[in-house]
Structure 1
Amino acid sequence: MSQVEGSTSKPGDLDLIGIAASLPRQGDLIQKLSALATLVVLVIAFSFVNGAFLSSANAMTILLQTAVIGLLGLGMTVVIITGGIDLSVGSVLALSGVAAGLLVKAGWSVPVGFAGGVAVGTFCGFLNGLIVTKLRITPFIATLGMMLIARGVALQITGAAPVSQLGDAFGRLGNGALFRIVEKAPNGFPKVVFPGIPYPAILLLVAAVIIAYVLHKRGIGRHVYAVGSNEEAAHLSGVSVWRTKLFAYSLSGFMAGLAGLVLMSRLVTAQPSEGVMAELDAIAAAVIGGASLMGGAGTISGTMIGAFIIGILRNGLNMAGVSSFIQQIVIGCVVIGAVYVDQLRNRR
């Protein structure tokens, strides 16, 4: 059996790998265009509801709010392509953020604290991968268990209390922006001329480009699609199925760790109760963007579109004065509709 990490397919591999690498398929393109059309319709509709929706300040707010959903969705997409699911990302987000906060609180520098938080998230994902591949427990149950474990650990080590007083440097990642322009107003107070591009949005873009490159240009990415399309055929063609799945779940944990840093940095407080139901937003972003829950299909660009659909929905409904309860109903209906469309596509 061949080693797959960081390598390209060997000449002896069957055509399955090449077929998987030829994605996106026509159905994926149609799904992506449909999601993009939905995104445009939402922008137009909300711009009529509230004139401030198209302002540069609100656009940057949407970028900031979508960053966490997008980061979680990127990792979730890779797992879903393999035919799995990761229900633990919301809890891993909280545990990673709390770990970073506690390290900084203990006197470590912010970069070291952030590195520790990401390491915790990656380790949780690695454990998920081992449980799924070596213990042969279904991904739903394995990651459900990790969801409870990670949340419990986060609450236990903090006493269910926020970790505060982390300093301005801790909040720079979540609240900083590139190209921000501030002028002094006549009254002497600072006036924001351009809010700048939020650092979390830049981080999301960089992560999306790297993961898209890995999925479509590297051997491990082609193996991810092959495992999701037909696990047995992938195994017979020389793909190390368990290592491919381990890579996918570890990546999901890594992205959850990054999302945890962004969210806690925005709050400048590590909250062990954050990230509840965030896994559903991540799954919704991936499915809306064209990822199939049956495995073998999905793109990073589609997930980005799906994340922005959810972010714009939340932002637009907030500006329209719609209650958070109604927002949950709307997002739930969108998820059901996206899964239904996915089922119709699979039947065809």
Structure 2
Amino acid sequence: MSDTELKAKLRFLPTGSALHKLSALITLLLLILAFSIMSSAFFSVNNGLTVLLQTSVIGLLAIGMTMVIITGGIDLSVGSVLALSGVVTGLLMKAGLPVMPAMALGVVTGGVCGFLNGLVITKMRITPFVATLGMMMIARGVALQLTGAAPISRLGETFGWLGNGALFRVVEMQANGFPKVIFPGIPYPAILLLIMALFGAYLLQRRQIGRHIFSVGSNEEAARLSGVNVDRTKIWAYTASGALAGLSGMVLMSRLVTVQPNEGVMYELDAIAASVIGGASLMGGVGSVSGSMIGAFIIGVLRNGLNMAGTSAFIQQVIIGVVVIGAVYLDQIRNRK
């Protein structure tokens, strides 16, 4: 067989990344099938929309985390940045700022935190693990200090529009004067997740910044010699991760209609788990937004199904931990091959 024929055949063979994503998708479908058999209520419209709503926050975090992981880094600060962004928004609203500008400044707060992460990593040459661990502590401390560790409530119904609103919701007034929900509608957080996932995938696959992110993660020195501005690419990835953490904070706090400075604890681990389960390599250079969405839904479906089965929250953590270890082990096998 000639080299040309061999290359033509290899082009149609699935790569290790594609196989990882395919196995994650099969796992997701098997989980849905298993939980549907265990409980008839699981495979219902209302529960499906609940899973969408619950997964939206982790999914948004996973998009930014995937970009960072592809560069060969890690971002441990997203949970704390989520909380700080919510606190900034709540305080601005209490000061009289309208909801939308306050939320926009909350997202900007997240982006600034991510930008600082990128600067510390690239200019001070501190490893991503240590730099983002420091930001995790700083952001959480600032959030608690600004609020006195107390929640910010009475923010008005408008603040809950993003987290609790839905598209195509059908409500019918009954004869007794009480409303009856005919169709709960598609939650706004799920629509926002879809938009951001499509935009993130477009940036990674179709734009120059995406090619730079992959090249930096694959071989940083080769990327630098090829003319890629490595520092700027890393700063961009961490800024995007921070901004998406801020956006996640808007969705979560809006759902609660209360700003909680203690929210987002351990969310960074869920985001990392979703990315790794979806095929992102902790060695860098490999990953996709679509795979991370599959990983996020695996975590969401697992939690939802185990809750319906009456499994304790502690056992759920054990199960998800085992799933993450398995995904990383598969990643190690892939890298060795």
TM, length-normalised to structure 2: 0.95
- Give 1:309's aligned residue: 298
Question: Are residues 1:52 and 2:41 paired?
Answer: yes
SS state at 1:291 partner: coil
Matched AA of 2:19: I
CA offset at residue 57 of structure 1?
Answer: 0.6
Residue 188 of structure 1 and its aligned partner are, at CA, apart by 3.5
CA distance in structure 1 between the partners assigned to 2:94 and 2:335 by the alignment: 50
Whole-angstrom CA distance in 2 between matches of 1:116 and 1:214: 23
Asked whether 1:122 is paired with 2:103, we answer no
Structure 2 residue aligned with 1:36, among 10, 19, 25?
25
- 1:84 alignment counterpart: 73
Mapped pair 1:336 → 2:325: yes
Q: CA RMSD in A?
A: 1.2
Q: CA deviation at 1:186?
A: 4.7
Q: AA paired with 1:109? A: P
Cα displacement (A) at 1:183: 1.5
Q: 1:181 aligns with which of 141, 148, 170?
A: 170
Aligned positions of 1:151-190 closer than 5 A: 151-190=140-179
Partners in 1 of 2:86 and 2:306 — Cα distance?
A: 28
Report the Cα offset of residue 116 of structure 1: 1.0
**Structure 1 residue 25, shift from structure 2 partner:** 6.6
Q: Distance in 1 between matches of 2:268 and 2:22?
A: 24
Matches of 1:46 and 1:181 in 2, distance apart? 28
For 1:323, the equivalent position in structure 2 comes to 312
The residue number in structure 1 matching 2:59 is 70
Please name the residue that 2:16 is paired with.
27
Distance 2:257 2:270 in 1: 23
Q: What SS is found at the alignment partner of 2:180?
A: strand
Count how many residue pairs are aligned between Structure 1 and Structure 2: 326
**Counterpart code for 1:161:** A
Written as runs of structure 1 = structure 2, the 5 A alignment for 1:1-348 is: 26-348=15-337
- Match of 1:30, SS state, is helix
Residue 79 (structure 1) shift: 0.1
- Alpha-carbon separation, structure 1, partners of 2:187 and 2:270: 21
| d(CA) in 2 for partners of 1:191, 1:42 | 32
**Distance (whole Å) between structure 1 residues aligned to residue 285 and residue 204 of structure 2:** 12
* Secondary structure, counterpart of 1:53 in structure 2: coil
Q: AA paired with 1:40?
A: L
2:19 & 2:76 partners in 1: Cα distance?
Answer: 28
**Which structure 2 segments of 5+ residues have no match?**
1-10
How much does 1:184 deviate?
2.5
How far apart in 2 are the matches of 1:58 and 1:216? 33
Q: What code does the residue aligned with 1:114 have?
A: M
Tell me the secondary structure at the aligned position of residue 182 of structure 1: strand
1:138 deviation in Å?
Answer: 0.2
The amino acid that maps onto 1:327 is: Q
Distance 2:155 2:288 in 1: 37
Paired position in structure 1 for 2:6 = none
Q: Which moved more, 1:105-114 or 1:188-197?
A: 188-197
Task: Quote the residue 2:3 is aligned against.
Answer: none
Structure 1 unpaired stretches of 5+ = 1-21
User: Partners in 2 of 1:311 and 1:218 — Cα distance?
Assistant: 30
Mapped to 2, the partners of 1:141 and 1:60 lie a distance apart of: 38
User: How far is the alpha carbon of 1:189 from its aligned partner?
Assistant: 2.1
Q: Which amino acid aligns with 1:93?
A: L
How far apart in 2 are the matches of 1:122 and 1:329?
32
d(CA) in 2 for partners of 1:68, 1:177: 16
Identity of aligned residues (%): 70
Query: Which amino acid in 1 is paired with 2:193?
Result: L
TM-score (norm 1): 0.92
CA distance in 1, matches of 2:286, 2:267: 22
Shift of 1:187: 4.2
The residue type paired with residue 285 of structure 2 is G
2:50 is matched by which residue type in structure 1? T
CA distance in structure 1 between the aligned counterparts of 2:172 and 2:296, rounded to whole angstroms: 33
| CA–CA distance in structure 2, aligned partners of residues 310 and 184 of structure 1 | 37
Q: Distance in 1 between matches of 2:42 and 2:169?
A: 20
1:252-280 deviation line (CA, Å, top 9, x unaligned): 00100000000000000000000000000
Partners in 1 of 2:45 and 2:211 — Cα distance?
Answer: 39
**Equivalent position amino acid for 2:87 in 1:** V
Q: Distance in 2 between matches of 1:324 and 1:187?
A: 40
